[in-house]
Structure formats: structure tokens, C-alpha cells
Structure 1
Amino acid sequence: MDEIRVGDAERSDALDRLGTLFADGYLDVGEFEERTGQAAVARTRGELSVLFDDLPADPVALEQRTPPEVELEEKLAAKKKMDRAQVITGVAGAAAFFVLQMGLDLDYAWVVWPITGLLMIAWYAVFDISDEEDDVLEELLEKDRAERAERLKLAAERRKELGK
């Protein structure tokens, strides 16, 4: 099987996979450039498969992580859910206010705003995230987004250099 020739579609798939692994932090810039160069000129399946021999097929399973990693992942997931819940609460609060104020012309529609604020604060207790944790988790999420965006940008540039 390793001696079967590959076409542009298989080389392109390999470049996509390398780009994803690079963006996820499994390869550094030097390794990524070296492997994408090899993938771009690969002639056989064996030449492509050797590029992935030391890389995971799937991300690390949760049960293989250490307890601090698991706790951090759980907190980050809770933070993301809490952020979504707060956005939904804010939008629902604004919609309720405008329906009550404009649609039903109620004088006490302003009560929606304090209730919405209390619900926004309550989400911290529901998801068990303190203010300090929220700040740290937000910094971690922002750092991860910035690093991933930079790696994706480098991967796209490399792909463009290779003409693929």
C-alpha cells in the first residue's frame, strides 16, 4: 500500500491535516514547514503517512489527562457555557423590555433591567465561577484564540507558498 502513488487531492488532504495539527499546537513552525514541503512533493502513500507517524490521530482523550488539566478543561467549558447563558439572558432581557415598554406600554417595564442584572450575576453561582476565575479564564481563552489564529494564518500562508 505504501508504494501506491498519490494525487493532488491526497496531498491537499495531508496539507489540511498538517495545518490543523499545527494550529492545534502539535507542530512548531519549523516542523510544520518541513512536513508541508514534503507533503507537497510526495509521490506515494508511504511518503505521506510517514509525515503523521509521530502525530496523534485524535486529540488527547480526557481520561488520559492529569487532574489539573481535567479541572482546567472543565472550568473553561463552564466559562464558555456561562458566557453563552449571559448573552442569551441579556438579549432576552432587552427583548422583554421592548415588548413590555413599546408593545404593551407598561409603565413598570424598567423592572426587567434589574431582574436581568441579577440573572447575569446568578450565572456565576450556577456555573461555580468566581470573579477571579472569570478573569483568568477569559485571559486563557483570549490567549488560545490569538495563538490559534496566528497558527492558522501561518498555515494558510505556507499552503499558498506551496501553491496548494
Structure 2
Amino acid sequence: MADVPEIRIGTAERERALDTLTRHFSDGRLTVTEFDERSGRIAAATTRGQLEQVFVDLPSPTPTATPATTDDADDTDDSLGWRNTVMAVIPFVALALFFLVPIDNSWLFFLLIPATAAILFGAGGKRRDGKRRGR
């Protein structure tokens, strides 16, 4: 069924084709005029064959660069999730302490916000050269 050029396409296929065309443009394979003309043809395309005609003279696009991974477990998105959650809650904790704890200078509770940020997101055990301490 993938070989049938007369099969109708939807918005998702047009968007993927436009993303691919944009990649070709950013790689320098197309001029602005060619990009405009081909993107218009993609927007007007109703079949798979019409989309394929837009890319006939272009090679398959280069893969997008993936970010470099590190072996540092503390920099993963999973470990930052709880830290971000704590930072979202800390202003409310400071506000509650401000109103509920009857002490002079209760405004100092708001210093919990930057202090918590420094503790959670500070140096994180890294030296300036990017290596972990104590390993």
C-alpha cells in the first residue's frame, strides 16, 4: 500500500514533508525561491505521489544531531524532576511560614527560595573542568 502514489494524504503527512523540506533548506540544498515554491506544492498536495514529486531531486535528509550524552546520572531529566517539583513548592512553603510562624523578621523565610535553589541546582559536585568530584 505504501507504493500506491494515488493514495490520499492528511495533514500529518504534509507536516512531515514540510519538516523534511525545511531540513533540506537549512542544509543549503534549496534557495528561498525553491523552498517557497515547493512548500506551496506540499500545502496543495492531496496524494502521496504529489508529495514524492517535491523530493525527486533531493537526497534523503541528514539525520538531526543528537545531544551528547554524559555518564553523569545527576544530569538526567528524571533526577531533575523531583528538584523542579521541590522548587515549585518552596515559595508556597515560605509564604505559609511567613503567615503562620509568629516571629520577628518573618520575611527571612523567603530566603528559603534562593537557598533551596542553590542547594538543589548549585555546583552539583562538578568541578570547573566538568569532571565529578570524589569519583
Higher helix fraction (1 or 2)? 1
Q: Which has the higher contact order (CA 8 A, sep 6+)?
A: 1
- Relative to the length of structure 2, the TM-score reads 0.50
Task: Work out which of the two has the higher radius of gyration on C-alpha atoms and give 1 or 2.
Answer: 2
- Relative to the length of structure 1, the TM-score reads 0.44
